[in-house]
Copies of this chain bind each other. A is one copy, B any other.
Amino acid sequence: MIANTPKPPYYAVIFSSVNTENLAEYSETADRMVELALEQEGFLGIESARNELGITVSYWKDLDSIRKWKKHAEHAIAQERGRKEWYELYKTRIAKVERDYGYEKT
């Protein structure tokens, strides 16, 4: 559930969003986008949580794989539908992960 990313450096796309109330086919499309992302070159993992605010962080090998994913035909259609129907607002941040560390209860 916490993405098992490699050693930094790698990239994170932080997608923060607030939904509209018109969510027809939203969760099916979101699931399909995850399925599709998994197949992309350079994809490293994804984490997602939502209350009023939704945060999805996807992890990528480099900027080039992020660019290609943004332009992926089926993903582009979903993005456009997102703006028209599902998102009240969103913000996307592209960030280079420089360091990471973790903890696991034993």
Contacts and interface: CB of A to CB of B under 8 A. Distances in A.
Q: How many copies does the complex hold?
A: 2
A84 B14 CA distance: 29
A55 B15 CA distance: 12
A97 B11 CA distance: 10
A101 B97 CA distance: 18
B2 A90 contact: yes
Q: Which of A1, A18, A89, A95 has its CB near the most chain B CB atoms (within 10 A)?
A: A95
A2 B100 contact: no
Nearest to A98: B94
A83 B55 contact: no
A21 to B, nearest CB: 12
Interface stretch (A23-31, A33-41, A42-50): A42-50
A22 to B, nearest CB: 11
